[in-house]
Amino acid sequence: MSAQRIEISELGAQGDGIGAGPHGATFVRFSAPGDVIQAAVEGTRGTLLSVLEPGDARTLPPCPHFGPDGENAACGGCAVQHIGRDFYTAWKRDLVISALKARGLETEVAPLVEAHPGERRRVVFAARRSHNGGILGFHRAGTHEIVDIATCLIATPRIVSALALLRALAAQAAVSPKAFQMAVLDSQSGFDIAFDAPFKLADTDRLRLVAAARKAASVARIAFNGEVLVEKQPPQLDFGGVSVTPPPGSFVQASARAETVMADLVSAHLKKAKRVADLYAGCGTFAARLACQQIVHAVEGFAPSLAALDRAMRRVQGFKPVSTEARDLARRPMMAAELKAYQGLVFDPPRAGAERQAQEIARSTVKRVAAVSCNPATLARDLRILIDGGYRLMSVTPIDQFLWTPHVEAVALLERPKS
Ligand SMILES: C[S@@+](CC[C@H](N)C(=O)[O-])C[C@H]1O[C@@H](n2cnc3c(N)ncnc32)[C@H](O)[C@@H]1O
């Protein structure tokens, strides 16, 4: 390892600054474009030693846990708090533009819908036992070490003010030295906490955790490895007037505001369709809202999420029917012939995208399609398939749901021109 002076020229896709080092392009975490830095270099990776001259893109990170000098060492929850707002928003939007370009899609991309501190309602913490209780926080970047946090600027204020309680609950569950995950959803009726651990709870540990949860007024439900231990009241999320109780630990959009932006774009685009298919529907983020005006068929691989949607739709009045179908769309995509029944379609797959499903949509007669994605690379691949199948790309909107991370969502709207 050798100490090198490096001029940082750009910000990479994972949020590392990139500059020319002795072995070519060198990636240095916590460096910013325009910085001149001193870094300990090993191969193509550098560790920031000092910033000799700060670049224009650099700003003061607002969180005390961020960066190589952060309290309790560098928290890995955020990657780019040291990048100023203008540069940051341009970089995030550019992640989408570059992915589209790589597939030959030179389309106009809307300005980034920005995220704000305090918006993340679902946070997955890392936790483990410590000599005096529990440690709760995020992994230090690139390590298994968990940084114990006293605050968090991305989480909702309710989650932040409950950090001591959450740490105490984590300590009750930490019956093995092994690290585990604790997903916390700040639902409208209280915290929905799902432990995902590589160990089991003995009966006595379970009773202790249940007793601690019962005492905590802000806790709605606790589940351990999928088993519900306590449900004082059902956790609830509002999807456009439909109150849904998601299954423990299931997928929900991490920020309510980002979810509303995405759902509004989808609903406006599909509003003229009489029947809509919602593929990769989860608990019905889009389906429930669309059912205000349209007949919806929601298809999803995780059956408990669909059961949650079914239960929620049975409780409301004045909505159009929502049918549900549990189906593995990667193995058994909805075929073009099946899609004949629908004039509108939204698909929102996991990071791997929906290649086979996109091939079927490309052969279908569906008039309007909304593609929602958390991975610009697979979105671009799937859009290419749809465009080659005759669809016209009308707009792409990047949405920042994960502030200060390299993750970006996008909603692409397509139309099949009249032939
Ligand atoms: C990005 S989430 C979107 C969920 C929902 N649209 C929302 O906004 O909350 C992707 C969803 O796809 C589901 N999923 C993952 N793989 C699948 C597959 N092979 N077939 C069907 N659904 C799948 C997951 O369970 C998850 O609910």
In a domain, 245, yes or no: no
In a domain, 372, yes or no: yes
Atom of ligand 1 nearest to the CA of 282: 27
In a domain, 194, yes or no: yes
CA-nearest residue for atom 4, ligand 1, is 282
Q: Are residues 189 and 294 in the same domain?
A: no
Q: Are residues 178 and 315 in the same domain?
A: no
CA-nearest residue for atom 23, ligand 1, is 301
**Into how many domains does the chain fold?**
3
Q: Are residues 110 and 132 in the same domain?
A: no
CA-nearest residue for atom 21, ligand 1, is 301
Mean pLDDT of the chain: 95
pLDDT of residue 72: 58
pLDDT category, 16, cuts 50, 70, 90? very high
CATH of the domain at 33: 2.40.50.140
pLDDT of residue 419: 74
Q: Are residues 203 and 268 in the same domain?
A: no
CATH of the domain at 154: 2.40.50.1070
Checking if the pLDDT of 135 tops 70, the result is yes
Give the domain extent around 6: 1-58
Q: Are residues 222 and 154 in the same domain?
A: yes
pLDDT category, 266, cuts 50, 70, 90? very high
**Cα 79 to middle of ligand 1, angstroms:** 26
Q: Are residues 267 and 179 in the same domain?
A: no
CATH of the domain at 381: 3.40.50.150
Check whether 88 is labelled as a binding-site residue.
Answer: no
In a domain, 72, yes or no: no
Check whether 343 is labelled as a binding-site residue.
Answer: no
Q: Are residues 283 and 390 in the same domain?
A: yes
Check whether 259 is labelled as a binding-site residue.
Answer: no
SS (H, E, C) the chain: CEEEEEEEEEECCCCCEEEEECCEEEEECCCCCCCEEEEEEECCEEEEEEEEECCCCECCCCCCCCCCCCCCCCCCCCCCCCECHHHHHHHHHHHHHHHHHHCCCCCCECCCECCCCCCECEEEEEEEEECCEEEEEEECCCCCCEEECCCCCCECHHHHHCHHHHHHHHHHHCCCCCCEEEEEEEECCEEEEEEECCCCCCHHHHHHHHHHHHHCCCEEEEEECCEEEEECCCCCEEECCEEECCCCCCCCCCEHHHHHHHHHHHHHHHCCCCEEEEECCCCCHHHHHHCCCCEEEEEECCHHHHHHHHHHHHHCCCCCCEEEEECCCCCCCCCCCHHHHCCEEEECCCCCCCHHHHHHHHCCCCCEEEEEECCHHHHHHHHHHHHHCCCEEEEEEEECCCCCCCCCEEEEEEECCCC
pLDDT of residue 131: 84
**Cα 356 to middle of ligand 1, angstroms:** 15
pLDDT of residue 141: 80
Check whether 348 is labelled as a binding-site residue.
Answer: yes
The reply to whether the predicted model has a pTM over 0.90 is yes
- Average the pLDDT over 329-354 and give the result: 98
pLDDT of residue 70: 59
Q: Which residues line ligand 1 (CB under 6 A)?
A: 251-253, 280-282, 285-286, 300-302, 305, 328-330, 348-350, 374
**Cα 349 to middle of ligand 1, angstroms:** 5
Which tens digits make up the pLDDT trace of 96-127? Answer: 999 999 999 988 999 999 999 999 999 999 99
Residue 374 a catalytic site member: yes
pLDDT of residue 132: 80
**Cα 137 to middle of ligand 1, angstroms:** 26
In a domain, 67, yes or no: no
pLDDT category, 2, cuts 50, 70, 90? confident
pLDDT category, 151, cuts 50, 70, 90? very high
Q: Are residues 192 and 101 in the same domain?
A: no
Q: Are residues 294 and 390 in the same domain?
A: yes
Give percent of the chain above pLDDT 70.
99
CA-nearest residue for atom 13, ligand 1, is 280
Q: Are residues 266 and 403 in the same domain?
A: yes
pLDDT of residue 56: 95
